[in-house]
Copies of this chain bind each other. A is one copy, B any other.
Amino acid sequence: MSEASAGRTGVALTERQKISWLRLIRSDNVGPIAFRDLINHFGTAENALDALPELSRRGGTKHSYRVASIAEAERELEASRRHGAIFVGIGEAAYPSALRQIDGAPPLLAMKGDLSAAARPSLGIVGSRNASVSGAKFAAMIARDAGRARYVVTSGLARGIDTAAHRASLDTGTIAALAGGLDKPYPPENIGLLEDITSGRGLAISEMPFGWEPRARDFPRRNRLIAGISLGVAIVEAAHRSGSLITARYAADFGRLVFAVPGSPLDPRCHGTNDLLKQGAIVTTGPEDVIEALAPLSQLELPLPGAREPDGQTGVPANASDSDRAAVSTALGPTPVEIDDIVRHTGLSPTQVYLLLLELDLAGRLHRHPGGLVSVAATE
């Protein structure tokens, strides 16, 4: 089935394909963008898995490269079944449609709860963990009214604003995006809230493996899911340099609306939100500000993305010589550059350049930046 004829229902992955996808995304140094480029280049996850060790070797890996095994993927699928969760591929109907549009969307998402929540337009609501009483009240007010207006409320299950937003939208639908595996919610005191969410009209999602304990750097990555799944994100209280501002930044990068609630300049919990207002966020003093701005967007039909799987139409793998490899290495430095510029600079074909970048990526030597820019560390 081609991309154009996939229609609004998407295409389902077979069980065998799902195992290959899971193996591929769980293999060393395969992030969402490398995953996409591998599938685009090799046609199927299975073909890509075969190519991984050689690609990483050519990219100059310094360690032995680990490909996730079939047994490992089967264990994770079994864990998800025990947990009552499923894995949904980016081309499948149950995958959140707004999230599909972002660069670096997870190819597989573990989901638990009412899957229909992911089909509805979402408003993200995030903010301080040490929220003020009025901040929490305001978050609940927006969540309740957004829920009545048929939006699902997405947040991060954190203390404070997140908790208030989830609780106020339990009856209308809420999505908790987790930084660790679905079986490793954080913080512990919100385990009960998560059960309320997944047993009712809500949903929990994660791109991380079952059993994964969330580390500090997993939270910004998770924030990208909240922004990506939502048409707009409301930031209720946020200090300078807080995680909520990372979510706001992602939302802006993805072209989503950013709402910020004004607050006293003398309250540090409002410094971040006031800064967002200075940067052009929508001044939000009530749910109507959010709902009116979202209304035109929630009417849009989002297109399904290109996903060459599952019919396995494969492109012809390009070959690259050592001199091509040297040319791309030379073109790269510690300053992020656009891939198009590397293509122009080296005179190689885009397919060759993507392949050579994949090699570096799998070898753990490439840094990917927002906007599709790439760099290598200065010492290389």
Please list the residues of chain A having a beta carbon within 8 angstroms of any beta carbon in chain B: 134, 137-138, 261-266, 270-271, 274-275, 277-278, 283-286, 289
Separation of A270 and B266 alpha carbons in the complex (Å):
14
Q: List 5 A-B contacts (CB under 8 A).
A: A138-B264, A262-B262, A262-B265, A262-B283, A277-B277
Q: How many copies does the complex hold?
A: 2
Q: Are A134 and B278 within 8 A (Cβ)?
A: no
Separation of A286 and B275 alpha carbons in the complex (Å):
11
B residues near A265, Cβ cutoff 8 Å = 138, 261-262, 284-286
Separation of A274 and B264 alpha carbons in the complex (Å):
11
Distance from A41 Cβ to chain B, minimum over Cβ atoms (Å): 47
Distance from A287 Cβ to chain B, minimum over Cβ atoms (Å): 10
Separation of A271 and B264 alpha carbons in the complex (Å):
12
B residues near A134, Cβ cutoff 8 Å = 264, 266
Q: Are B274 and A262 within 8 A (Cβ)?
A: yes
Separation of A267 and B36 alpha carbons in the complex (Å):
49
Known A262-B264, A262-B265; further 12 A-B contacts with Cβ < 8 A: A134-B264, A138-B265, A261-B265, A262-B262, A262-B263, A262-B270, A262-B283, A263-B264, A271-B285, A274-B285, A278-B283, A278-B289
Separation of A262 and B275 alpha carbons in the complex (Å):
11
Separation of A134 and B265 alpha carbons in the complex (Å):
9
Which of the listed residues A261, A262, A284, A286 has the most CB atoms from chain B within 10 Å of its own CB?
A: A262
B residues near A270, Cβ cutoff 8 Å = 262
B residues near A283, Cβ cutoff 8 Å = 262, 274, 277-278
B residues near A137, Cβ cutoff 8 Å = 266
B residues near A277, Cβ cutoff 8 Å = 262, 277, 283
B residues near A271, Cβ cutoff 8 Å = 285
Separation of A112 and B76 alpha carbons in the complex (Å):
83
Closest B residue, CB atoms, query A286: B265
Closest B residue, CB atoms, query A273: B262
Separation of A59 and B220 alpha carbons in the complex (Å):
73
Separation of A263 and B261 alpha carbons in the complex (Å):
9
Q: Are A264 and B264 within 8 A (Cβ)?
A: yes
Which of the listed residues A138, A283, A284, A289 has the most CB atoms from chain B within 10 Å of its own CB?
A: A283
Closest B residue, CB atoms, query A261: B265
Closest B residue, CB atoms, query A266: B134
Closest B residue, CB atoms, query A275: B285
